[in-house]
């Protein structure tokens, strides 16, 4: 398996077939933040993204956020997300530690988890190495 190859590639998180992921037995969705839940460095989440995350939770997924951003407590978007979802900043992707921590927090094993992010060398590589299903978001 090519560790830098995502299992799926989409243009946006709204293009992902979440019903299919659920049917495949996936129960946790781990989202990257920058260029995934928003633009390059979003200061806030759009209402659409907020409601998408809520509906995914209602579908039965555990949602977690895994970001390499370094600042946590003074960053409004991170504080807002962390109030609702397990979140790990300064995650050190692609290293395994952050992935393992967030999986523990959501209580789902790697084979039932999906990592959704834009970067091959952090999000995709880290997920593939642990056997987490990888989806790359690549705006065109």
Question: Footprint of Mg ion on this chain (CB under 5 A)?
Answer: 32, 34-35, 118
Query: Is 23 or 40 the residue whose CB approaches Mg ion more closely?
Result: 40
- The pair phi, psi for residue 134, each rounded to 5°, is -110, 135
Residue with tokens 């293009």: 15
* Residue-wise burial string across 33-50, b where 16 or more C-beta atoms lie within 10 A, e elsewhere: bbbbbbeeebeebeeebe
Query: Is 15 or 109 the residue whose CB approaches Mg ion more closely?
Result: 15
For residue 109, the minimal CB distance to Mg ion (Å) is: 24
Query: Is 12 or 107 the residue whose CB approaches Mg ion more closely?
Result: 12
Chain-centre distance for alpha carbon 47: 18
Distance (Å, rounded) from C-alpha 61 to C-alpha 64? 10
For residue 98, the minimal CB distance to Mg ion (Å) is: 13
Query: Is 80 or 118 the residue whose CB approaches Mg ion more closely?
Result: 118
For residue 122, the minimal CB distance to Mg ion (Å) is: 7
For residue 106, the minimal CB distance to Mg ion (Å) is: 19
């Amino acid at each position: 398996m090519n560790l830098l190859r995502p299992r799926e590639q989409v243009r946006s998180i709204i293009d992902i077939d979440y019903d299919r992921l659920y049917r495949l037995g996936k129960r946790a969705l781990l989202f990257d933040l920058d260029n995934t839940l928003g633009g390059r460095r979003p200061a806030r989440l759009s209402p659409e993204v907020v409601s998408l995350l809520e509906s995914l939770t209602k579908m039965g997924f555990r949602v977690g956020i895994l970001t390499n951003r370094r600042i946590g407590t003074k960053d409004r978007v991170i504080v807002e997300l962390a109030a609702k979802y397990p979140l790990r900043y300064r995650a050190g992707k692609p290293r395994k530690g952050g992935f393992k921590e967030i999986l523990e927090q959501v209580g789902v094993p790697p084979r039932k988890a999906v990592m959704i992010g834009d970067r091959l060398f952090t999000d995709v590589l880290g997920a593939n190495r642990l056997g987490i299903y990888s989806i790359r978001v690549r705006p065109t």
